[in-house]
A and B are shown apart, each in its own frame.
Chain A
Amino acid sequence: MSGDWILLILVIWPMIGAFLSYGTGRRRKTGRNLFADGVVIAEFALLCGLFACGLLSGSGGVSGMELHVLDFKWEGFCGLGLTLRLDGFRVLYGLVAAFMWMMTTVFSREYFGHYRNRNRYYLFLLLTLGATMGVFLSADLYTTFIFFEIMSFTSYVWVAHDEKEAAMRAAGTYLGVAVVGGMVMLMGLFMLYHTAGTLQMDELLEACRKVRPEKSGVLYLSGALMLFGFGAKAGMFPLHIWLPKAHPVAPAPASALLSGILTKSGIFGILVVSCNIFLHDPAWGMAVLLLGMVTMLGGAALAVFSVDLKRTLACSSMSQIGFILVGIGMQGLLGEENALAVRGTLLHMVNHSLFKLVLFMAAGVVYMNLHKLNLNEIRGFGRKKPLLKFCFLMGALGIGGIPLWSGYVSKTLLHESIVEYTALTLQAKAGMAVMGSPAFFKTVEWLFLLAGGMTAAYMLKLFIAVFVEKHPEKQDEFDWEYKKYWNTESRLAVTIPALLLPVMGTLPGIVMNKIAELGQPFMRGENPLHAVHYFSLENLKGGMVSVGIGLVLYFGVIRTCLMRKGRNGIREYVDRWPAFLDLEERVYRPVLLQFFPWLFGGICGFLDKYVISGIQGAFLGISGAVCQFLDTYVVETAVKVFMAATAFGSRVLDHMTDGIIVLARRTTHRQVKGHRKKVMRDRFAYAMGHFLDGCAALLNKTVRKKHPIRKSYVPNLIELEEETVRTNRIINGSLSFALMLVCIGLILVLLYLLWQR
């Protein structure tokens, strides 16, 4: 272990805090809540302190936004070792993460007021904070991967928190995507490590340049695999499937974090890949750009069609991630002069984190009171609730890209970068490495503006539904019964980030540029050649076009096609998204859960059942038949013959002995006939028995009065004596026979010897 311990503490502290808070929560609920708040606030404060120190000791001074870089290394941890680093980008995203965690943890207290398993939620909330810090602080891809996986698994518990059918299914999807993504990413890491020989982020650029022309193919493949893995978490098409499912069922604070920061950890990984391995690589940029376009438009379309408050926000996240990916793609395409794209990407990341924090928490306020999310059921809830309306509006205006709010700044930068590249393609001369035609990029530009317009449209839809329209039946209830719809803590947690958005938007030159300067070295970006005038007519025009498209879409499509008259004559929102356009249900689940096991299981089962068993069966059959044959015919016959021969032989020998004995009995040992002497038998037994009986009688009278001995010893002794006599007689008889046989044998031997002589 070497370097600055403080970085390890940044990662470990929330994890330790998680277990401590779990322990506390076993005893006191309020203590646990306060403790958890304390943990995240301490984390945020620590990061702020490090940021300030870094700025002060950095080379550029306070204004120069150049940070003194901290490093930490733990050799041998988990195999390859753990490296952490704190530089400008990392401190920025660390701060964003800690800030978001702080706000959501504070907000959680009221939101989870009536939930079960809160202790578990807090445990995994803080564990995930530690893991997320680990991802953002990681200095090599191995460390990134380790924390990335921890983050995936701990955040799974958030999604599954409700334990309802829908939640479990969504959580299953989430876990599935995470596991698949993780494994594919790991595969990419293997190949990268094998090709480049390092996973350290700052060494990757050089290492990859060295092997570049020969091993480009392997590098592209490994890059694609890593893009897949990180994209799964970021919500990139075609792995976005978990986003629209997981968000509506997850608790609102968790959704805010999932959408605001966990997706960004995926983007972080994509940035590492794009800005180190494929720095300024137009082909790579083009691929990311195309994926980004699809994600951006697909997410926006899903959001426009959705009639569920949190689902809309989730799809919007997907769409905004698409914007960021477009920015990353443009970085690759623009090559050296990608300052605008770099800044746009970075700022849109930060902005989107904050938007989603505000919007999801506002949605959480609605859900916390009504336990419903369908627009038809919650419409009108926000009327006469000015503060909530204000917060939501800030978020909506921000994400919609309205000038004076922060989203406008980043979207303008992204738009400018596309315009810049279009200009490049126009001037392209022979020999210049420019991909794509001007017409193509003109289309890209217009699609970008269209997506911006769609963003404005669906945010308008949400805002009007929740805060402007009236609920047909329950409006009075909404207005009067939910007067106290949130407590002070929650109010603070939602309002503070909401206030940040217009501040950032109105002072782009001060706030946004500083943020960009802080983070851009990570993407190897330079300051732009000339300062960007965010509020110039040219730029405002782009924003206005988007807003215009949004208005047209809202009034032309949403209010006409996506609404219909209900039974009571009130216009309702309807979900017209075709159900068959569900990648997960149509493709992924069947392939993964049925097709793969079916295919491989089938093949193996077939082999197992027919081929292997067939061979075994044939083998056993043949050998069995052979054995059977041998058994029945050869062996059995042999045994029979042998047995017969032996039996015959024995019989003959038997008869010989018998013959001798019979002969003996007839001749020498003939039984003597005549009067048999009558023997007075068993005299001894009688005497002994009577004596013993007498003893017993004596005992019965004296010692054994209670248990007298009743049996007589006479019969027992007689039996014994008879037995002895009988045995003696048999032994005598046998002995005499044996002796006689021995004698015969001796005589035979004698005769033999004599004859031999």
Chain B
Amino acid sequence: MNQLLLVAPVLLPIAGGILMLMIPEKEARVHPIFTELIVLASSAMIWAVLFTGREQGNGAVLFSMAGNLKVFFRMDGMGAVFSGLVSVLWPLATLYAFEYMEGDRRGREFFAFYTMTYGVTLGIALSGNLVTLYLFYELLTLVTFPLVLHDRTKEAIRASRKYLYYSIGGAAFAFIGLVFVLIYGSTADFTLGGVLNKGVPGFDTNVILFMYVLAFFGFGVKAALFPVHSWLPSVSVAPTPVTALLHAVAVVKSGAFAILRLTYFSYGADFLKGTWAHYVVLGAVLVTIVYGSTMAVKEVHFKRRLAYSTISNLSYVLLGAVMMSAAGMAAALSHLVFHAFMKICSFFCAGAVMHQAGRNYVYELDGIGKKMPVTLACFTIAGLSLTGIPLFAGFISKWNIAQAAVGLGGIPGFLAAGVLLYSALMTGIYMMTVVVRAYFPKEGYDETALDGVKEPGWRMLTPIVIFAAVILFFGLYSRPLFHFLQQTAGGSGI
């Protein structure tokens, strides 16, 4: 039973998505209901596993390829965190998408791939070994590609092509890393502390480290790491539910998740700590943070600004990850969770503004806070949280990351803390300018221009308000969650 419960949530949305393509295009009212049912069913199964005994399940083998290569699902601590997160976000985001996509010509296709992506993301979350992870990682690119392409405009086509090149290219690098783990590891299953076996003949530390760096950058493509980030701002042309969920949460988080798996569960933090590879990836992460937050300040397109903010925040997660310590991993996981809520909330608010008022640029937002008070209030909460103001969730995770950074000690540690500080400042600037503009418009702005603009309907508003409430809740009381994360990271033996 338990085995089925692990496999079903992955396969159900994929099958459902394919089925959906068979429902006639005309039955536009059926698509959302069908989608929501499937998504809820999968989420329910995930929650069932989460609450009823994650520990007894030894995992479910879907099928075996040759020998060691099997597609294998298991829910350990990290998988629980990620799958739990995704299973909460997806139904709400789907609800939001109903209103946003109303009247769209290609609604069926959209919802079909949207549902499939859910299954694939869960597959990443639940994968029990690197092979499975890699398989679903590749699949993720393929199922999200049509979503980026959705509008079929010239821009969308260019963006989706770029997305495809980057992702497939990155996966190729990741594949090299995977092969080396298979050869030099004692097992391919994820084991906290790493699986490398130094007894294997031909084990050369430097080569392995090089392979780690390659794989890091390979998976880093999805996590928008600096030299390979530029697909992310481009794909903000996609519809908002896609950008919000996929490019702020599912896709990019899958990248970060894969890196965490790679670092802590395959290569092992002990093996990497203090090596040249450690400093290379740390440097890349720091550069990304500075880059992302700076470019966000310079960007005036609302959604692209948020995309840059994602770049920098994703690297916060990676910064936690490359601390190569239990504290770092716990901090990374906490930011992975909190950032998902903050970013999806702010993206949805941006989407609501675009949908209701048709404003795409930051300088067009003057006075919008008076017309859409609830949306902008939630955006303010998300913005303050991203900046790292106490009482909001972002502060907790940033505190943990910085704590881990200082714990690393030495110049890299302080440098990391300094970069965090700089980035927090820039975050304050790029988020607060939006808030201030919305609530305190410049003198002499045209009040009549916003006539008729009103709050979105309940299907868009509910997710936004829920996410804002979650941010506040975790900001005020995050102890049980953080305790769980520490337990998850605790066994890494550092």
Contacts and interface: CB of A to CB of B under 8 A. Distances in A.
B293 to A, nearest CB: 8
Interface string A63-83: 000000000000111111000
Contacts of B442: 165, 168
B395 A190 contact: no
A163 interface: yes
Contacts of A175: 432, 436
Interface stretch (B26-34, B141-149, B474-482): B474-482
Contact of B476 (A77, A171, A607): A77
A597 B396 contact: no
Contacts of A76: 477-479
A597 B421 contact: no
Interface in B170-185: none
B443 A163 contact: yes
A596 interface: yes
B294 A601 contact: yes
B402 A190 contact: yes
A194 B403 contact: yes
Contacts of A145: 390
Contacts of B425: 179-180, 183, 592
A592 B407 CA distance: 29
Contact of B417 (A146, A165, A190, A601): A190
A607 B387 CA distance: 26
A183 B424 contact: yes
Contacts of B440: 160, 163, 168, 171
Nearest to A221: B414
Interface string A154-186: 000000100111001001100100011011101
A48 interface: no
A600 B294 contact: yes
A577 interface: no
Given A597-B297, A604-B291, A604-B295, A79 B482 contact: yes
A146 B476 CA distance: 11
Given A79-B396, A79-B482, A165-B443, A184 B294 contact: no
A593 B432 CA distance: 14
Interface in A586-627: 592-593, 596-597, 600-601, 604-605, 607-608, 612
Contacts of A150: 389-391
B205 to A, nearest CB: 28
A191 B406 contact: yes
Interface residues of A, number: 41
A187 interface: yes
Nearest to B409: A194
Contacts of A593: 429
B154 interface: no
A175 to B, nearest CB: 7
Interface in B368-394: 384, 387-391
Contacts of A165: 442-443
A439 to B, nearest CB: 39
B361 interface: no
Contacts of B422: 596
Contacts of B402: 186-187, 190
A145 B395 CA distance: 11
B428 A179 contact: yes
Contact of A149 (B230, B389, B399, B400): B389
Contacts of A592: 425, 429
B372 to A, nearest CB: 17
A164 B444 CA distance: 10
A149 B440 CA distance: 20
A171 B421 CA distance: 22
Interface of B: 226-227, 230, 287, 290-291, 294-295, 297-298, 384, 387-391, 395-396, 399-400, 402-403, 406-407, 417-418, 421-422, 424-426, 428-429, 432, 436, 440-443, 475-479, 482
A179 B427 CA distance: 10
A367 interface: no
Nearest to A145: B390
A522 interface: no
A194 B407 contact: yes
Contact of A608 (B230, B426, B429): B230
A604 B286 CA distance: 12
A600 B290 contact: yes
A193 interface: yes
Contacts of A596: 294, 422, 426
Interface in A48-92: 75-80
A153 interface: yes
- Grouping DSSP codes into helix (H, G, I), strand (E, B) and loop, the A interface class, with mixed when no group exceeds half, is helix
A78 B391 contact: yes
A75 to B, nearest CB: 7
A179 B430 CA distance: 12
Given A78-B395, A187-B418, A190-B402, 19 more contacts: A78-B390, A79-B395, A149-B390, A150-B389, A153-B384, A160-B440, A171-B440, A186-B421, A187-B421, A190-B399, A190-B406, A193-B403, A194-B403, A597-B294, A597-B426, A600-B290, A604-B287, A604-B291, A605-B295
A226 to B, nearest CB: 13
Contacts of B428: 179, 183
A78 B476 contact: yes
Given A149-B390, A160-B440, A79 B399 contact: yes
Nearest to B228: A612
A601 B295 contact: yes
Contacts of A604: 226, 287, 290-291, 294-295
Contact of B443 (A80, A164, A172, A184): A164
Interface in A3-46: none
B432 to A, nearest CB: 7
A178 to B, nearest CB: 9
A311 to B, nearest CB: 21
Contacts of B298: 597, 601
Contacts of A146: 390-391
14 contacts: A79-B396, A79-B478, A146-B390, A149-B390, A163-B441, A172-B436, A183-B424, A183-B428, A184-B421, A186-B424, A187-B402, A190-B417, A194-B407, A604-B291
Contacts of B287: 604
B226 to A, nearest CB: 8
Nearest to A180: B425
Interface in A279-317: none
Contacts of A600: 290-291, 294
B437 to A, nearest CB: 10
A175 B390 CA distance: 15
A187 B389 contact: no
A324 to B, nearest CB: 26
A597 B477 CA distance: 35
- 8 smallest beta-carbon distances between A and B, as pairs: A76-B479, A146-B390, A604-B291, A600-B294, A179-B428, A194-B406, A79-B396, A601-B294
A157 to B, nearest CB: 9
Contacts of B400: 79
A571 B173 CA distance: 79
A592 B293 CA distance: 13
A193 B417 CA distance: 14
Contacts of B399: 79-80, 186, 190
A146 B390 CA distance: 5
A79 B297 CA distance: 29
A333 B390 CA distance: 35
Nearest to A161: B440
A179 B440 CA distance: 18
Contact of A183 (B294, B295, B421): B421
B403 A190 contact: yes
Contacts of A172: 436
Contacts of B407: 194
Contacts of A190: 399, 402-403, 406, 417
A160 B439 CA distance: 10
A197 to B, nearest CB: 12
B479 A75 contact: yes
Contacts of B482: 79
Contacts of B226: 604
